[in-house]
Structure 1
Amino acid sequence: MLRVRPLHSTSRPDSWDTLLTALGMVITENDAGWRVFDAGSGRLALHTVPEGAAEDGTTALAVEVGDLAEFARRTNLAADEDGAAPAELVTADHGEACRITAPDGFTFLADKASHFAQCADADPALAVAGVWFTEDPAAASRTLQHIGARPRPVPDQDDTADFSTKNGGVLLVRPASGPARSGLGFEYDGALEPLRQRLASAGLRVSLTEEAFGRTLHVANPDAGGPGAGHVPATLWIAGRHHG
């Protein structure tokens, strides 16, 4: 199995709870300092950190798998054609995991899923999108294929790449200068106007943009405006789903 489940660190978990609930996500784990929300496709984990901590407002790309050892074996077998062995079983702060290291130096974790079924009460149109910004999008795309992500058609023939996963969520590769890093967004496979109204009714600032490639909602980021939050985007995006 393979499911997208980014890890977002925040000092404002209750504000995120309001946003994610308005998006149609459902909380499925709620332990001290740790919450997991299911979308119709994919999950998002929230980790509570002190305000002003270095990781406050940042997202780490992460996925869930069924069997860590088997996932590592298959990933390295697929990558062997490139002469690489990017998957390594490790002991992380939260327990056993598999670390994937890409040619651009970017790393992310695969964790064993604590529960396998997606919550049926979550909005089925919403998908969690994990984003990989990199100066080497071709190598990033190969790495995602090695872990079992499936290439998805994109509207433009450029350096962007989109991937679906077997058990939910999408992975996006986007060219960017500087060190490789993670980002977070959402996709919505339905009418955006009712979703916009739902977000506004929850007291969230939200706007809609229309561009050549489609329509996108922009909602105020709960982490923006805090101390030391210069790295935090002012808004989060929810893109209308394209069918290629």
Structure 2
Amino acid sequence: MLRVRPVHFTSRTDSWKQFLTALGMVQTEDDGGWHVFDSASGRLALHGAEAGSGQDGHTVFGVEVGDVAEFARRTNLSAQEDGTQGGGAQPAELVTAAHGETCRISAPDGFSFMADKASHAAQCADADPALAVVAVWYTADPEGAVRTLLHVGARPRPVPDNDETADFTAKNGGVLLVRPATGASRSGLGFEYDGGLEPLRDRLTAAGFAASLTEEAFGSTLHVANPDAGSPNAPATVWISQRRPMG
């Protein structure tokens, strides 16, 4: 299995809980400073952070899998079979973290992310069925990022033009995007909505979140005031894009 589940560090946990609830997500884990919210497609984990720290307002790219060791084996086998491993290095490595055994995936651009064992398998049936969690990988090496996501079993999704962007879906929920960028590779967070954004905007506004709708080249995007506003690591808004029909 493969499910999108980034981790967002914040000193404003309560504000984020209110925002995610207004989005239509449902909390399925609550363990001290660790809170997991399910959408109909993908999850988001909130982790407490000290206000103004380097982590506050930062999102870490991440996924969930069923069997960590088997996931690592398959990922390394996929890399071997397409002949892209350099110097014999394996992209997937089993490591022990504070929360237990996990798998670290390392990419050619120096970016790495964790594949953790899913604590529960089923998505919450009460979540808004139109919402999906989106994890973004910004990189100066989009080709290497694309190969890495193919190795982990992400499924390519058509994009509207032939640039260096790439879209993927995960078998068990969520969207992964590769976007070209200068400088060090980094992660980002967003959402997709399979339906009209106006009712969602109204729902968020009624919950006290300032939201504005913009028309962009390939569809509409809703920009919502970031609950982390004021943190040096946080963008001004959180975006929710309207899912584009694919052929």
Do they fold alike, i.e. is TM over 0.5? yes
Matched, 1:218 2:220: no
Deviation track 1:144-192 (CA, whole Å, cap 9, x = no partner) reads 0000000000011100000001000000000000000000000000111
TM-score, L = length of structure 1: 0.97
Q: Which of residues 151, 159, 165 is equivalent to 2:164? A: 159
| Contact 2:63-2:116 at 8 Å conserved across structures | yes
Distance 1:211 1:185 in 2: 16
Q: Percent identity?
A: 71
Matched, 1:102 2:98: no
Who is 1:19 aligned against? Answer: 19
| Contact 2:60-2:187 at 8 Å conserved across structures | yes
Q: Which of residues 173, 182, 203 is equivalent to 1:168? A: 173
Question: What is the alpha-carbon root mean square deviation over aligned residues?
Answer: 0.7
> Alpha-carbon deviation of 1:224?
1.5
Aligned residues: 241
| Superposition map of 1:160-199 within 5 A | 160-199=165-204
Distance 1:41 1:160 in 2: 21
Distance 1:95 1:54 in 2: 24
| Contact 2:52-2:232 at 8 Å conserved across structures | no
Who is 1:60 aligned against? Answer: 60
Distance 2:135 2:25 in 1: 16
> Alpha-carbon deviation of 1:93?
2.0
> Alpha-carbon deviation of 1:90?
0.2
| Contact 2:56-2:233 at 8 Å conserved across structures | no
| Superposition map of 1:19-168 within 5 A | 19-80=19-80, 81-84=83-86, 85-168=90-173
TM-score, L = length of structure 2: 0.96
Deviation track 1:61-80 (CA, whole Å, cap 9, x = no partner) reads 00000000000000000011
SS in 2 for 1:173: strand
Divergent runs of 4+, >4 A = none
SS in 2 for 1:198: helix
Who is 1:6 aligned against? Answer: 6
Distance 1:200 1:179 in 2: 35
Distance 1:37 1:47 in 2: 12
Who is 1:231 aligned against? Answer: 233
Question: Unaligned regions of 5+ residues in structure 1, if any?
Answer: none
Question: Unaligned regions of 5+ residues in structure 2, if any?
Answer: none
